[in-house]
């Protein structure tokens, strides 16, 4: 027996919202008459209980990445092995950035080694190519020129 869509809508709403008096009376009358509607109500109630008892409170770590991997795998499988899906913008940028980052790190390390060899000093300041200076040396020139202007 087919259940009336309006009555079914009232049944679904009754789990989350309070029905008005006439709506509640109509739903109760339909439940008294229809065994299918009573079974539907029992199924919905048991499903809601099972979901509440499952304790699943979130999607878990890296949910979006897992979903996107699964979607990509499904696309590849459905489109056939001979056709490759175009990479996303993020994947393209990631693929392009890795070699640039590796080359940049290699260049910085090469410059640091060059500075150490050139200065014949194994220190952090020599690696950066910055001469060691004391506070008096660094502030000496501006401080002395400021004092000369005052006198």
Residue among 101, 132, 121, 100 nearest 113 (CA): 121
96 and 148 assigned to the same domain: yes
Co-location of 82 and 43 in the same domain: no
Both tokens assigned to 40: 């539907």
Domain of 145 in residue numbering reads as 88-151
**Higher-pLDDT residue of 118, 57:** 118
Residues 109 and 143 grouped into a single domain: yes
The pLDDT score that the predictor gives to residue 105 is 96
- Helix pair 35-54, 5-16: axis angle to 10 deg: 30
**Span 69-79, mean pLDDT?**
81
Q: Are residues 76 and 102 in the same domain?
A: no
Residues 19 and 72 placed together within one structural domain of the fold: no
The whole-number pLDDT of residue 16 equals 87
DSSP 71-82: HHHHHHHHH-TT
Are 49 and 64 contained in the same domain? no
Same domain, 79 and 136: no
The predicted pLDDT at position 111 comes to 92
The string of pLDDT tens digits covering residues 108-139 is 999 999 988 888 888 888 888 777 777 777 66
Q: Could you tell me if 41 and 67 lie in one domain? A: no
CA-to-CA distance for 150 and 146, rounded, in angstroms?
6
Distance CA 73, CA 66 (A): 11
Q: State how many domains the chain has.
A: 3
Q: Say what the pLDDT of residue 60 is.
A: 77
More confident residue, 60 or 7: 7
69 lies in the same domain as 13: no
Q: How far apart are CA 100 and CA 136, in angstroms?
A: 41
Instruction: Indicate whether 151 and 92 sit together in one domain.
Output: yes
Q: Are residues 36 and 81 in the same domain?
A: no
Q: Which burial class, exposed, middle or buried, applies to 10 when counting CB atoms under 10 A from its CB (0-12, 13-18, 19+)?
A: buried
Summarize pLDDT for 13-52 with one digit per residue, the tens. 998 888 889 999 998 999 999 888 899 999 999 998 888 8
Give the pLDDT score at 141.
67
């Amino acid at each position: 027996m087919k259940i009336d869509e309006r009555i079914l809508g009232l049944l679904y709403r009754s789990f989350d919202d309070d029905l008005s008096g006439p709506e509640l009376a109509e739903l109760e009358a339909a439940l008294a008459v229809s065994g299918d509607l009573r079974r539907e109500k029992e199924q919905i109630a048991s499903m809601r209980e099972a979901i509440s008892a499952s304790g699943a409170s979130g999607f878990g770590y890296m949910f979006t990445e897992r979903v996107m991997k699964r979607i990509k795998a499904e696309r590849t499988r459905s489109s056939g092995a001979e056709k490759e899906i175009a990479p996303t913008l993020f994947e393209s940028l990631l693929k392009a950035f890795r070699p640039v980052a590796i080359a940049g790190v290699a260049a910085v390390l090469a410059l640091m080694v060059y500075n150490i060899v050139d200065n014949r000093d194994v220190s952090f300041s020599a690696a950066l190519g910055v001469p060691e200076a004391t506070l008096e040396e660094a502030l000496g020139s501006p401080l002395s020129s400021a004092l000369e202007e005052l006198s």
